[in-house]
Amino acid sequence: MMNWKEWRHITKLDPDKVLGDGAIAEIAASGTDVLMLSGTLDVTPEKLADLYDQVRDSGLPVVVEPADPTGARFEGMDLVFVPTVFNAAHPMFVCGLHKEWVQHFPIDWNKVVGEAYVVLNPASSVGKLTHAKCDLTPEEVAAYAVVAEKYYRMPVFYIEYSGTYGNPAVTKAVSEAAEDIVVFYGGGINSAEKAAEMGQYADAIVVGNAVYDAGPAVLKDTVKAVR
Amino acid sequence: MMNWKEWRHITKLDPDKVLGDGAIAEIAASGTDVLMLSGTLDVTPEKLADLYDQVRDSGLPVVVEPADPTGARFEGMDLVFVPTVFNAAHPMFVCGLHKEWVQHFPIDWNKVVGEAYVVLNPASSVGKLTHAKCDLTPEEVAAYAVVAEKYYRMPVFYIEYSGTYGNPAVTKAVSEAAEDIVVFYGGGINSAEKAAEMGQYADAIVVGNAVYDAGPAVLKDTVKAVR
């Protein structure tokens, strides 16, 4: 696997959604760097295992991004990306679930990559679940990125517009504030233009819903746009 | 200054409290490793400056532990210990104030040391201010320490019983769970016995209120107990 810090294009697949026949092969041929298995709601270990079985022979690295401790599967995964939501309304989503995870589950810390999320679409599942305070200025989001990098020493800062296309000024401000922290942008990318716009600031863009809504053909365009 | 990770005894002085004549000299002669200027309530930049002027020539390292962004003074300070309260009821105390700090104040990150607090006395000022969830088992506090060390990669875990003597089983559990993270214990240490009991588990003990309540003479006993 290439160093994950060099990824430019992440394809996010939801264990709670269904992919059509041949979709995995098309995704694998798109040029995307990695498959990230991730969903906010109704992800069970069984659904995760099913999706993993579908993608394990794709030739791509496979990582998981659990929404809660029960979703943190290590078996077969190259890495486990563990989110925290800095602008959540409750510390449960910042450090509380993490405490539960440590208490009740075995953890291979060598595979764990911490992601500091700022969630910016209040209508998204993750926005609703975490009651995220989404009316933030670019400067505020950038300040969170500095907290993540300098205070918490986290490896990833994730700008999450889940389901809607975001404000490029936010991604720009974050990229200017970030020194070593790797910046992911996710939300509403369903065209080469949007991929290019966010990809000029973010280290990696995440394409998720478009795979289901527009079909995997859209991936190739978004991949090309960030190379 | 010796490496702060080797401190065994920290004397905490509150800018909102008054020390009697000769107290600083007695504190400086006690053998304590460092003076930490820190208070939860009513600490103003002016009071902090006054206390700093009193202690600056003590010969001891002087660090500050701000309760909010306005208290983070760098001038003259050897280090700035910046707390986060993992068991607070609101993310403001986990990452929100930190974001405000980044937005509105200049920061010398080379002097910043992050401290992951768990606050365990609900009746203390910090317990009330942060509405900390204090009914935690030793295993839960130890799990927070692992989150601080492995997930957030923080340098300090601070067991804070502020104003009351805590449960040694908590400090023991944390010390067993901690690998590289430095463990501070603070709260209710006013005798050699208590210093020795918590000092056998914590990397450093913090003596604060006793300096004001019992007078600085108590410091010498608590210092000896952890050497």
The phi, psi pair for A119, rounded to 5°, reads -100, 125
Q: Taking the CA atoms of B176, B177, B183 and B188 in sequence, report the sign of the dihedral they define.
A: negative
Length of chain A: 227
Helix or strand (DSSP H, E) at A62: strand A62-64
Nearest CA in chain A to B101: A143
Q: Which of A88, A99, A153 sits opposite B140 (nearest CB)?
A: A99
Q: Which of A84, A89, A151 sits opposite B82 (nearest CB)?
A: A151
CA separation (Å) from B40 to A124, B45, B81, B162, B215? 37, 13, 14, 10, 21
Contact residues, chain A, for B150 at CB < 8 Å: 102, 107, 109, 112
CA separation (Å) from A21 to A10, A16, A112, A209? 21, 16, 32, 17
Interface of B with A in 1-60 (CB under 8 A): none
Tokens of A75: 């078996």
Tokens of A95: 């450090």
Is the whole model's pTM more than 0.95, yes or no? yes
CB contact under 8 A, A152 and B114: yes
pLDDT in tens, A105-144: 999 999 999 999 999 999 999 999 999 999 999 999 999 9
- The gap from C-alpha A167 to its chain's centroid, in whole angstroms, comes to 17
Between vectors from CA B7 to CA B221 and to CA B219, what angle results, nearest 5°?
20
CA dist B158 and B204 (Å) reads 10
227 residues of chain B, pLDDT tens digit each? 789 999 999 999 999 999 888 899 999 999 999 999 999 889 999 999 999 999 999 999 999 999 999 999 999 999 999 999 999 999 999 999 999 999 999 999 999 999 999 999 999 999 999 999 999 999 999 999 999 999 999 999 999 999 999 999 999 999 999 999 999 999 999 999 999 999 999 999 999 989 998 888 889 999 999 99
CA dist A180 and A130 (Å) reads 27
Q: Residue B156: what pLDDT?
A: 98
CA dist B113 and B79 (Å) reads 7
Mutate to test the interface with A, among B94, B97, B139 (most CBs of A within 10 A): B94
A77 closest CA partner among A25, A161, A15: A15
Percent of chain A with pLDDT over 70: 100
pLDDT in tens, B104-161: 999 999 999 999 999 999 999 999 999 999 999 999 999 999 999 999 999 999 999 9
Q: Give the residue ranges of the annotated binding site of A for sn-glycerol 1-phosphate.
A: 12, 158-163, 188, 208-209
Contact residues, chain A, for B84 at CB < 8 Å: 151
For A123, other C-beta atoms within 10 Å of its C-beta total 10
Q: Give SS3 for B85.
A: strand
Is residue A9 predicted with pLDDT exceeding 90? yes
Tokens of A163: 């389901």
CA separation (Å) from A189 to A35, A41, A195? 16, 21, 6
- C-alpha distance from A150 to closest chain B C-alpha (Å): 7
Q: Which of A88, A90, A99 sits opposite B144 (nearest CB)?
A: A99
Tokens of B91: 């993310």
Q: Give the residue ranges of the annotated binding site of A for Mg(2+).
A: 14, 40
CA dist A159 and A117 (Å) reads 6
CA separation (Å) from A76 to A26, A79, B196? 22, 9, 47
Q: Which of B98, B103, B143 sits opposite A99 (nearest CB)?
A: B143
Contact residues, chain B, for A173 at CB < 8 Å: none
CA dist A130 and A158 (Å) reads 15
Interface of A with B in 125-144 (CB under 8 A): 139-140, 143-144
Q: Which of A91, A107, A112 sits opposite B94 (nearest CB)?
A: A91
Strand segments, DSSP code E, in B121-221 are 156-160, 182-186, 204-207
Q: Please list the residues that pair with A182 across neighbouring strands.
A: A156
**Whether complex ipTM tops 0.90:** yes
* Cβ–Cβ contact A185 with B under 8 A: no
Mutate to test the interface with A, among B99, B108, B117, B176 (most CBs of A within 10 A): B99
* Cβ–Cβ contact A92 with B under 8 A: no
Q: How many helices (H) and strands (E) does chain B have?
A: 9, 8
Write down the mean pLDDT value for chain B: 96
Q: How many CB pairs under 8 A join A and B?
A: 87
Contact call for residues A22 and A54 (beta carbons, < 8 A):
no
